[in-house]
Amino acid sequence: MRRFENILSNLFLRGVIYIADGLIVAGSSLLAPIFAIFVEEIGGGIPEAGIAVAIYSLTAGLGIIFFSRKEDRIKDYRRFVVVGYLLAVCGYYIYFFATTIVVVYVAQFVLGLATAVRVPAYDVLLSQSAPGHIAVAWGNWYSMVFLVSSVNAFAGAMVAEMFGFQALILIILMFAFMAFAASLFLLKIRQDSNISKSEINNLVQNDE
């Protein structure tokens, strides 16, 4: 019975992190294809757009090196994921009030920090939730990312064209907040829910 409960907990855990990351991807993919146009709207240009992307990538890249080590020491992966989504909300909230390129740079730094905090812990949780099926779990995740991005890349352009970037960023902020809200369920799932592949095989054999 305990093993069945663990399997259900793992499935619920995987569902929560898929939903949360699906929401954050849905939001970010609305702006990504037209980011340079947004930068031009607030007085920047192609170089400024490049700098903004570089700030995000540099912050995320260096931050992951730092936070991945800290997260392995602390082991509280779920809380790090939640904090990462909360930082993403803060980053897009800053974006909502961006009228100068400097504010965009600050927002990009916060979003890079959000990625650095969230991604290592997220990767651990997803892998732990799928003992014996890690390739499938990550395959599903990548499929979700590409499919959601393909739809929202076009949707974001249409929203910006019809209602402006302010409305678009408000929608992105809403997606980020929903991702954060969904991630809070991670704190409610049993902390000892992860089981090994051998335990699953034993469970199947016993049923037979």
152-172 confidence digits (pLDDT tens): 999 999 999 999 999 999 999
131 versus 48: the higher-pLDDT residue is 48
In which band, very low, low, confident or very high, does the pLDDT at 2 lie, cut at 50, 70 and 90? low
Q: Which two tokens stand for residue 197?
A: 């592949």
Average the pLDDT over 163-191 and give the result: 93
Report the alpha-carbon distance of residue 199 to residue 204 in Å, rounded. Answer: 9
User: In sequence order, which ranges of the chain are alpha helices (DSSP H)?
Assistant: 2-31, 35-41, 46-74, 77-96, 101-128, 134-163, 165-183, 197-207
121 and 80 in contact (C-beta within 8 Å)?
yes
> Could you report the per-residue pLDDT of 39-73, keeping only the tens digit for each?
999 999 999 999 999 999 999 999 999 999 999 99
pLDDT given at position 66: 97
Question: Nearest 10 degrees: CA dihedral of 164, 170, 175, 177?
Answer: 170
pTM of the model: 0.86
Compute the residue count for the chain: 208
In which band, very low, low, confident or very high, does the pLDDT at 192 lie, cut at 50, 70 and 90? low
**Collapsing DSSP states into helix, strand and coil, what is residue 33?**
helix
39 and 165 in contact (C-beta within 8 Å)?
no
30 and 152 in contact (C-beta within 8 Å)?
yes
Q: Which two tokens stand for residue 78?
A: 């779920």
Question: Can you list the domains of the chain with their CATH numbers?
Answer: 2-189 (1.20.1250.20)
> Is the per-residue pLDDT at 187 higher than 80?
yes
